[in-house]
Structure 1
Amino acid sequence: MECVKKMKASFASVGAFSSEENFTRGNPEGPIEWINHEAEAFEEILNSRGDICAFSGARGIATILEKKGCEHVKILAQSEATLPFEDAKDPSAEASMVGGKFFTDIWDNGGREMAREIIQKSEKGIHDAREVAKAAEKSAEPEGQIGIN
């Protein structure tokens, strides 16, 4: 069951919870099914982590520009404003340098940890909600009743 421990450690390393392993010894299909389910969940977890990091970076750049007096942030915040994907393609040398500065000056100096905290709070909330739902489901199950014929 070393692979189960490694899988749980991988989840924990990104601030996630793995599901409870519900298999019995001697049943080789149980661990395989559990690992397969966890692998599928891990892909979803990594995608959501990427989304949070992208959001944190975009918000960070917008905050910096706003604090430097850039009025474009207010314009882009309007509901009718759009951010076409095409505009993000082929960045100028200056835009690439700003991205690099953001990474070295902000992301490496606390931004990554800030995003990790957001991720962990989000994952804990989801995990706790699942546990509450599971407990409610279990309490709603009828106790073993003996039928009278």
Structure 2
Amino acid sequence: MQQDLEDEKNEATIKDLESKVKDHEAVLEKKDFVIQDLENKVKDHEAALEKKDFVIHSMEGSLLEAQAEIDRLNSELLKKSEEEKKNLETNLKTEIEKSSNLQKSLKELQDKCLDFGNRCVQRLKDVFHSIGASSDKFTPSVENLPSTFEYIEGEVDALDEVIAGHADFCALLASRGTATAFLKSGCTHRKIVNRPNFSLSPADLIDIPSLARSIGNRFMTQIWINGGRKMAGDEARSHLKPDDEAKE
């Protein structure tokens, strides 16, 4: 009986030990699984670190390439800026020279126009005075050249009327000179011509007799050239008003 109890006790102990051994084996298996899982995670982590290092190295390489490209672009931009600056300076210098030449040409042209205007104004005054006419006082200036040419244009327009008036003085003096020649020769027809009812028509002047032509030619050589022209100018100028002469 005693033996049976001990056997049962031993069997219980053995079962307990077997159970503990199984539990221990299970723990060992679990530990191995955990270790394997950790090892896998470590491998995964190492792979991730390797990948991270690769990415970092790649990024560092890309950054170096980008920095090199930036440096190259900055160098090209600086070089281009210097070239553009030189081009701008050259163009500016050229434009300044052009502007200076244009100003010089403009000044020369203004001086020529002023000289021409002065000569025209003076020449017109001389012409007007020579035929007994007057002109308004005018002084050309380089600051207002258009007014100078407007004045010259106005004087030229008035010249036709002045010349026509001078022609009347010449005709008057010519008729007086012819009459003087007739009187000197003892011509008695002066009384007939001087009558109020004496007149000539344009038809009478269409076919001028040769004697009349000869008399006219003699008038030119004997009277007009010998002083009649000057007398005509003097008489025309004598009709000028004192104020008109002062303007000249």
Q: Deviations over 1:99-127 (max 9, x none)?
A: 11110111111111111110221235571
Structure 1 residues 24 and 12: alpha-carbon distance in aligned structure 2, compared to 1, 3 A threshold? closer
Aligned equivalent of 1:143:
none
C-alpha distance in 2 between matches for 1:39 and 1:87: 34
Structure 1 residues 125 and 118: alpha-carbon distance in aligned structure 2, compared to 1, 3 A threshold? farther
Report if aligned partners of 2:118, 2:140 keep a CA contact under 8 Å in 1.
no
Which of 1, 5, 8 is the matching residue for 2:122?
Answer: 8
Aligned equivalent of 2:200:
83
Which of 167, 171, 176 is the matching residue for 1:54?
Answer: 171
The structure with the largest alpha-carbon Rg is 2
Give the CA deviation at 1:77. 1.0
After TM superposition, where is structure 1 displaced by more than 4 Å over at least 4 residues in a row?
22-25
Structure 1 residues 93 and 104: alpha-carbon distance in aligned structure 2, compared to 1, 3 A threshold? same
Q: Percent identity?
A: 28
Q: Deviations over 1:39-60 (max 9, x none)?
A: 1222221111111111111111
Which of 26, 41, 44 is the matching residue for 2:158?
Answer: 41
C-alpha distance in 2 between matches for 1:81 and 1:125: 37
TM-score relative to the length of structure 2 = 0.46
Structure 1 spans left out of the alignment, 5+ residues? 132-149
Structure 1 residues 80 and 107: alpha-carbon distance in aligned structure 2, compared to 1, 3 A threshold? same
C-alpha distance in 2 between matches for 1:72 and 1:19: 45
Structure 1 residues 83 and 39: alpha-carbon distance in aligned structure 2, compared to 1, 3 A threshold? same
C-alpha distance in 2 between matches for 1:86 and 1:93: 16
Report if aligned partners of 1:4, 1:35 keep a CA contact under 8 Å in 2.
no
Higher-helix-fraction structure:
2
> Where does 1:1-149 land on structure 2 (aligned, <5 Å)?
1-2=114-115, 3-13=117-127, 14-15=130-131, 16-21=133-138, 25-125=142-242, 127-128=244-245
Question: RMSD over aligned Cα, in angstroms?
Answer: 2.4
User: How many corresponding residue pairs?
Assistant: 130
Report if aligned partners of 2:124, 2:155 keep a CA contact under 8 Å in 1.
no
Structure with greater contact order relative to length (CA < 8 Å, sep ≥ 6): 1
Give the CA deviation at 1:17. 3.0
3-state SS in 2 of match to 1:98: helix
